[in-house]
Amino acid sequence: MTLEVRDLSIRFGGVAAVTNMSLDVNAREIVGLIGPNGAGKTTFINCIAGVAQPDTGAASWNGRAILGLSPADLLRLGVARTFQSVVSLHDLTVLDLVKLGAAAHARRGRGFLSQFFGSDKAVDEEICESLLAPLNLVDVANSPIQTLSYGQRKSVDLARALACEPQLLYLDEPVAGLTFQEGLNMGAVIRSVRDRFGCSVVMVEHKMDVVMSTCDRIVVMAHGARIFEGTPAETQKDAEVRRVYLGDA
Ligand X SMILES: Nc1ncnc2c1ncn2[C@@H]1O[C@H](COP(=O)(O)OP(=O)(O)O)[C@@H](O)[C@H]1O
**Residue ranges in contact with other proteins by CB under 8 A:** 10, 12, 42, 46, 49, 51-53, 70-72, 75, 81, 83-85, 87-92, 96-97, 99-101, 103-104, 109-110, 112, 115-117, 120, 143-144, 146-147, 160, 164, 172
Min separation Cβ 231 and other proteins, Å? 28
Binding region for ligand X (CB under 6 A) out of 32-40, 122-130, 150-158, 233-241: 32-40
Min separation Cβ 100 and other proteins, Å? 4
Min separation Cβ 110 and other proteins, Å? 8
Nearer to Mg ion by C-beta: 37 or 119?
Answer: 37
Residues 32-51 that bind Mg ion (CB under 5 A): 42
**How many residues line the site for Mg ion (CB under 5 A)?**
1
Nearer to other proteins by C-beta: 49 or 219?
Answer: 49
Min separation Cβ 10 and other proteins, Å? 7
Min separation Cβ 180 and ligand X, Å? 22
How would you list the strands of the sheet with 30-34, edge to edge? 79-81, 168-172, 200-204, 30-34, 217-222, 225-230
Min separation Cβ 36 and ligand X, Å? 7
Compute the distance between CA of residue 181 and CA of residue 87 in angstroms, rounded to an integer. 22
Q: Which does 104 bind (CB under 5 to 8 A by kind): other proteins, ligand X, Mg ion, none?
A: other proteins
Min separation Cβ 248 and other proteins, Å? 27
| 85 binding ligand X? (CB under 6 A) | no
**Cβ contacts of residue 12 below 8 Å, gap of 6+?**
none
Return the residue nearest Mg ion (CB atom): 42
| 38 binding ligand X? (CB under 6 A) | yes
Compute the distance between CA of residue 10 and CA of residue 15 in angstroms, rounded to an integer. 9
**How many residues line the site for ligand X (CB under 6 A)?**
11
Q: Which does 57 bind (CB under 5 to 8 A by kind): ligand X, other proteins, Mg ion, none?
A: none
Helices 150-162 and 94-103: crossing angle in degrees, nearest 10, is: 30
Residues that bind ligand X (CB under 6 A): 12, 15, 17, 35, 37-43
